[in-house]
Structure 1
Amino acid sequence: MAKLKRKPYERLLQPMQLELAQMARWAQHSGQRILVLFEGRDTAGKGGVIQDIARHLNPRQCRVVALPKPNDRESSQWYFQRHVAHLPAAGEIVLMDRSWYNRAGVEKVMGYCSQAQYHAFLKHTPMFEQLLVDDGILLFKYWLCVDQEPQEKRFAQRRDDPLKGWKLSPVDLQSRQAYSEYTAAREAMLQATHRPHAPWTLVEFNDQKRGRLTLIRNLLDRLPDTRIDDPPVELPPLPGKPKKEKYSVVKPLPSIPIATT
């Protein structure tokens, strides 16, 4: 199947973004809390789908959480503690670009946690997520699947594009050699944490645009009925003619010649 081009992608995405805006109004009106976790291999496309979900939503209501490496103090805390601080309040939507599942993936494969910490995580995570769901949070967990060949192409793009170079970390370079180990870690994670109250949804992201549409459609279809009656907004006439503000004008830069070869 040919990869989806930008224009048809945007055309298919637009009605879904209207539904996402409706979802945000419903969450604000009802006080519902929505938490979406995005997990997957490096280069899978987590950042891109998160950007498209949040693109037209109020950033004060829809928060993107991408936590850095824990510092020494955070490393000594209860493992879930720093994630709890970012859970949604009433009317909020939180999109987590990686989450507590780092322990089941990169920390396990790269040896950043002990075997005891890893097994404790697999045991405790279903209970932790049960608490979230029981408290009324709508929890969605997505794993973005990408094969090794497209992953290698994306690594090369990051290497060659100075605007994407920041995405290529030393850990990413090491992970290239551990594709099979990450596969085994994912399977163990799914077996331990795929539960009726917090199921995993796997989405193919070899074609990132098709993957985004599939994921967003799935998210919208799993929500309750989000229709609400929006009262019409009226703009009363101004008392008098519109006034002009006094401001200083910044002149445009002079034209810059473009070198040709």
Structure 2
Amino acid sequence: MPYPSSEALTAATLSFQDSTPYAEQFGDVYHSNEGGLAQARHVFLSGNDLPGRWQGRAEFSMLETGFGLGLNFLATWQAWRADPLRCRRLHYTSIEKYPFHAADLAQLHARWPELDAFSVQLRAQWPALTAGAHRLLLDEGQVELTLVLGDVADCLPRLDLRCAAFYLDGFAPAKNPGMWAPPVLSHLHKLALPGATLATFSAAGPVRQALRQAGFVCKRRPGFGSKWHMLAARFSPEEALAQSLRSVTNG
């Protein structure tokens, strides 16, 4: 992944729809009206069976598509810090095309005072909004956040990672189809450790199909709030191929 460059990015615009943070670039909200932090815990932490899966490990690596408000990261960091059996080091990589300025993050994070200590540390190291990979060492170096600023279609193929968990959080597929395109999701195959898990709020058929093609066995779980379903998946290429063949046969 390249080092940060001088190429400036378009920052996210701070706006709201019925008091919920809203992305004007995509015409969609950043999280459910029923609660952003609760959604992060239900969909992404529970969807990846965390904190259990990092317990007892020396390190645990994760990848997120769509940093957004940073809620998923802050919720994960908070859960890691609260877990006495946590891994010694947490590596968290996140891709974001439209990052917020630090001042906007401060205003947004004020809605969740229980995250204040984590938000303060994050904002203290918040990088200039330039394209490339920005490495932030947090919690006395035990938490490493690599914030990759740029388009996911350009950045994902350039990552050199092996991940145990994935958060796919790029707005609804209908609003942001580029984030969910099969050529984009196919790159997860090269980044996943055996048995890696994945979670996303979207349970759309094309997303399930693209993830199966990338080697993930998908299962629908109860969604957050009023949303009926979400997806949880496990990286198992042989089983995913068999699942795909059954889907075609039953077709």
TM range (shorter): 0.3 to 0.5
**Which structure features the higher share of strand residues?**
2
Q: TM-score when scaled to structure 2? A: 0.34
**Which structure features the higher share of helix residues?**
1
Q: Which has the larger radius of gyration?
A: 1
Structure number with greater CO (CA < 8 Å, separation at least 6) is: 1
